[in-house]
Structure 1
Amino acid sequence: MLKSVCFALALLAAGAGVAAEAPKGSLVIIGGGLRPENAAVWEKIVLLAGGKGARIAVFPTAAQNPAREGGNAVAFLNRHGAQAFLVPVAPLLAGSDVRKAADDPALADAVRNAGGAFFTGGDQARITGSLRRPDGGNSAVLDALWSMYRRGGVIAGTSAGAAIMSSTMFYDPPLDVVPILKHGVVDGKDIAPGLGFIGDDVFIDQHLLVRGRFARMLPVMLDKGYKLGLGIDENTAAVVGPGREVTIVGYTGALVLDLSEAGTDKAQPLFNLSNARISYVDNGDRFNLASRTYVPGPGKEPVDRSMREYREALFYTDILGNTSVVNLLEKLVDSNLERATGLAFEGPTSRAPERGFEFTFSRAPDSREFVTNREDAWSIYRIRMDVRPVRMRQPLYTVE
């Protein structure tokens, strides 16, 4: 009972800060795996924090080894011109009392007066558990973060530091994707309140294309009433400005899931979805969360419909594989076909191995596709996505 009450209080706290004042700052939401040599992302964080000499508070709160992870982040930011400093609010940091540190007035002032903050990866539950008090209220340091963000500072986070950006987050270690499609999620166990910096209308997930996590976002979005989902891939950042325009910076891109006009068949007890929209936003692309408009990055041109490469049926046996969904979308828009299909299922030793899911992607009247001249960078907007449960044969195959 107490856990449920604290969960509800945390939800209220996550939303209350956003409603009080529209932030003037920016977010840099990184999908994990941020490499030291990814100068575009590191430099963007420093620039948004105020440029050369900017003070950036580094939170190693989620890390298994906070001293090492925090020290690395400080060094990388300083290499690009910042004056970063470590914030000793981390449950696994030797010699630190996390509850005392989170309410330390001097530490809160340092965070409030900084130009930005950076959250390392790890376990996102350590972040929310450290920055919120046991009663669900904000610690002094969390209030300072909100103050800095509202004033115009930047809050950046990678992996676990990205998960906390929305008002709902997956717990870590996360469930695999197919079990979520099969069995759903449980509040307080599989998902929990995040810190809600992006607002309460966008759901965030990370490690997206590498781990096929776009599919696990869908049941949570339906359950929690989210109409927009933003999933960012590794070594890539979604930079969200005060006007709520998202710019993609980094190695690959992100997926935007739009359920504004989506529906479900409530007579079907298993997960299903119809008429959703999925978009792939590439490095340099922009997407406005308020107007839901897309602008392709520099050098992108509309796909020449007379120069289609793929003419055979498009079918993937594992739509959740590394970058599979984007690869299939690229082939769809580079074909003369109207739809492509992929499956998601588990092995014979899983719980309910006969349950699988069919994902169908099809062109819609409002779909748009862009590509660079060399055809190595695609932008694909508003492809229709439908999901329905299917029965997998058991055994799936036999040896000849």
Structure 2
Amino acid sequence: MLKKLGVALALAVCAGAVMAADAGPSKGSLVIIGGGLRVNNAEVWEKIVALAGGKGARIAVLPTAAQTPAKEAQLTVDALNRYGARAFVVPVAPMLAGTDVRKAADDPALAEAIRKAGGAFFTGGDQARITGSLRRADGSNTAVLDALWALYRRGGVIAGTSAGAAIMSSTMFYDPPLEVMPVLKNGVADGKDVASGLGFIGDDVFVDQHLLARGRFGRMLPAMLAKGYTLGLGIDENTAAVVGPARDVTVIGYRGALVLDLAGATTDKTKPGFNLANARISYLDSGDRFNLATRAYAPGPGKEPVDRQYVEHRAPIFYTDILGNTAVADLLEKLVDSDLQRAVGVAFEGPDSQSPDRGFEFTFTRVPDTAAYVTNREDAYSIYRIRMDVRPVRVHQPFYTLE
């Protein structure tokens, strides 16, 4: 495999013309994938190749986060090439046998290959391996990281899935608990739960991944409050958020993304436990657009406002596990397709967890700036600016038995 990597690198160094990095604002694009990207998701793969320059585009694959980098790199190269790219592997990965990741990250030939490419792709794995490899011990950029920024600034595309998505913001989840509830209960600690990312998307947007499948919007909230973010972008699996130079976001792929807006939100620090009032949560379906600068939404093609004269849901909406797989998106869809003003979901852990009596109630409410659209043929919803309030509650465990 190492021999193949060397051949691929040699080809990469010879390919393309050298373009100087623009020291000004980025002219490039980001393709931020929420993890679980399938090979048959042509829309996402083709978008990456197109943004990198189209058929024959050189795309650098960085398996830095992977536990098995040689395997992950080859799978990604094969997928990109299937959709028309000429991808090559950048062997900068702490788990890659026979290499010194520190030396590789400052290798001039590797950096030059990336600088000449039309795009770069970070595989999934452990995002701490990416930041730990591409920044020196003193926090400065390695040659490879400088080359990635040069590629991005002059108009190339930076793509990443799962861990490769987490590093897109200036702050990322680093080594948090696997479940969401401990983060809601205990908050986040710098250097443990959160740490510095690479910041390609800018300093004002917090990014997370595997969002709907794992209910991770719940862990984004305390992290955003702790680090001063008012805007969060969470992408679901097999789905991508494409961010252009004008900071326009377009959602493509299998499902959608959540936007969390805390600009008008408040928290009562005199009360015990995490709490939040007057936040806004939006669900962007595939095809929808959102601008990170103006915070303006636009539904995808073929969508019309939801007609509340013909609603499907009239009974009260109450979810007992709002952090479950796709639960929050399902609840929001039912709310906007109802004659109700609010819906409620709760989150709590089992009796064997730490502090099992501590839970949270999430209330979702229509407000004047709420908007909802649907494609009737597919029942695909776009839901913008639903008010969200979170408060801690007591849950009696073990549950009583009916007699």
- 1:57·1:117 contact (CA, 8 Å) conserved in 2? yes
Matched AA of 2:288: D
Trace 1:257-276 onto structure 2 (pairs within 5 A): 257-276=260-279
Trace 1:326-337 onto structure 2 (pairs within 5 A): 326-337=329-340
Matched AA of 2:267: T
Q: Is 1:216–2:199 an aligned residue pair?
A: no
Trace 1:142-291 onto structure 2 (pairs within 5 A): 142-172=145-175, 174-291=177-294
1:28 to 27, 31, 43: 31
Matched AA of 1:132: R
Q: Is 1:52–2:55 an aligned residue pair?
A: yes
Aligned to 2:342: 339
1:108 to 98, 107, 111: 111
Moved more, 123-132 or 387-396: 387-396
Give, in angstroms, the shift of residue 172 of structure 1: 4.2
Aligned to 1:71: 74
Give, in angstroms, the shift of residue 267 of structure 1: 1.0
- How far, CA to CA, are the matches of 1:196 and 1:175 in structure 2? 23
- How far, CA to CA, are the matches of 2:75 and 2:181 in structure 1? 34
Give, in angstroms, the shift of residue 266 of structure 1: 1.6
Runs of at least 4 residues off by over 2 Å:
172-175, 396-400
- How far, CA to CA, are the matches of 1:132 and 1:56 in structure 2? 21
- 1:123·1:173 contact (CA, 8 Å) conserved in 2? no
- How far, CA to CA, are the matches of 1:273 and 1:160 in structure 2? 28
- How far, CA to CA, are the matches of 1:26 and 1:334 in structure 2? 35
- How far, CA to CA, are the matches of 1:106 and 1:57 in structure 2? 13
Query: Any stretches of 5+ residues in structure 2 without a counterpart?
Result: 1-21
Aligned to 1:16: none
Partner SS for 1:264: coil
Moved more, 366-375 or 239-248: 366-375
- 1:230·1:256 contact (CA, 8 Å) conserved in 2? yes
- How far, CA to CA, are the matches of 2:362 and 2:35 in structure 1? 26
- How far, CA to CA, are the matches of 1:222 and 1:398 in structure 2? 39
Q: Is 1:43–2:46 an aligned residue pair?
A: yes
Query: Any stretches of 5+ residues in structure 1 without a counterpart?
Result: 1-18
- How far, CA to CA, are the matches of 1:390 and 1:21 in structure 2? 49
- How far, CA to CA, are the matches of 2:192 and 2:114 in structure 1? 31
Aligned to 2:310: 307
Partner SS for 2:229: coil
Partner SS for 2:249: strand
Give, in angstroms, the shift of residue 305 of structure 1: 1.3
Moved more, 387-396 or 53-62: 387-396
Moved more, 36-45 or 174-183: 174-183
Aligned to 1:89: 92
2:131 to 128, 139, 144: 128
- How far, CA to CA, are the matches of 1:397 and 1:157 in structure 2? 47
- How far, CA to CA, are the matches of 2:264 and 2:399 in structure 1? 35
Give, in angstroms, the shift of residue 94 of structure 1: 1.2
- 2:176·2:192 contact (CA, 8 Å) conserved in 1? no
Give, in angstroms, the shift of residue 139 of structure 1: 0.3
- How far, CA to CA, are the matches of 2:82 and 2:176 in structure 1? 32
- How far, CA to CA, are the matches of 1:162 and 1:58 in structure 2? 14
TM-score normalised by length of structure 1: 0.94
| Identical counterparts, % of pairs | 77
Matched AA of 2:202: G
Matched AA of 1:190: D
Matched AA of 2:195: A
Moved more, 170-179 or 32-41: 170-179
- 2:43·2:252 contact (CA, 8 Å) conserved in 1? yes
Give, in angstroms, the shift of residue 230 of structure 1: 0.2
Aligned to 2:12: none
- How far, CA to CA, are the matches of 1:122 and 1:255 in structure 2? 22
Partner SS for 1:306: helix
- 2:175·2:192 contact (CA, 8 Å) conserved in 1? no
1:321 to 309, 324, 341: 324
Aligned to 1:364: 367
- How far, CA to CA, are the matches of 2:70 and 2:177 in structure 1? 24
Give the direction of change, closer, same or farther, for the CA distance of 1:153–1:125 in structure 2 (3 Å limit).
Answer: same
Partner SS for 1:145: helix
TM-score normalised by length of structure 2: 0.93
- 2:166·2:172 contact (CA, 8 Å) conserved in 1? yes
1:352 to 355, 376, 397: 355
Give, in angstroms, the shift of residue 175 of structure 1: 3.6
- 2:123·2:161 contact (CA, 8 Å) conserved in 1? yes
- How far, CA to CA, are the matches of 1:74 and 1:316 in structure 2? 42
